[in-house]
Amino acid sequence: MNQIHFVARFQIHPDRADEFKSAAAACLAATRSNEPGTLACEWFINEEQTNVIVLEAYESSEAVLAHIENSSPHVPKLLQFADHAVEGLGTPSAVLRDRLKGRITFVPRFQGLSAPRLGDSGSGTDIRTIAHFRIQPGKLEEFKSGASAGLKIVAEKDPGTTAYEWYLDESGGHCTVVEMYRDAEALLAHSKNVGHLVRGLLQASELAAELCTRGPASSLAALAKLPMKRFGYLQGLGS
């Protein structure tokens, strides 16, 4: 599995949300037009309309390069209305690494499902989470052991988990996990299955998480108490 993923974050300038959304729509239209290697390009915005998260997935480094060429006419306008930062996840080709050198740092994949699916499920309800673990000094092996046990449980007991991708930086100090669930019930079932392991991971690390949801409010109500920053659906390949 050599997919390349990105987590892009935008902080919208004051009173520029409408202009940002218009520019974002143009970017997405370009992505839809001619990018068969783009597996996901899902945009989420917080309630205050100040921050946006974009989750992107590509089948290969070549697909990322095609996306860069296709979207490059539209990105400068988007950045007139927001500050941004992008985290690259996976192992890029030498060509892609050189193309993005000095702009995006890639974090290698540590573990994950054999065929992750981060794109639109087609059901109208998708749940994605992004977890950030800051690993305590001397606790890396303990953390990795707990993470591996968690993946085993997901593979065996979580049919509603469609992506569970772990990326560990070369220093062993930071881990990003990108997850996707087919609905709220699948996320809650996962939380129950791995809850004891997460408590163990928190003995070796600090955790911050973001919840990105798509679907009617009635189907998401059960997630209201989860301790995560929340983002609602803005646009994506399936919308």
- Partners of 68 in beta bridges: none
Residues of the chain with pLDDT under 50: none
**Three-state secondary structure call for residue 120:** coil
pLDDT of residue 114: 87
pLDDT of residue 1: 65
pLDDT of residue 239: 66
pLDDT of residue 74: 94
Closest CA to 90 of 102, 103, 72, 104: 104
Instruction: Identify the DSSP state of 13.
Output: P
What is the maximum span of the chain, computed from C-alpha positions, in angstroms?
A: 48
pLDDT digits (tens, 9 = 90+) for 180-233: 999 999 999 999 999 999 999 999 999 999 999 998 888 888 898 888 999 999
pLDDT of residue 18: 98
Distance CA 199, CA 210 (A): 18
pLDDT of residue 5: 97
Fold of domain 4-235: Alpha-Beta Plaits (3.30.70)
CB 110 within 8 A of CB 175: yes
Domain extent listing, the chain: 4-235
- For 55, phi then psi, to 5°, come to -105, 120
Q: Is 66 exposed, middle or buried (0-12, 13-18, 19+ CB in 10 A)?
A: middle
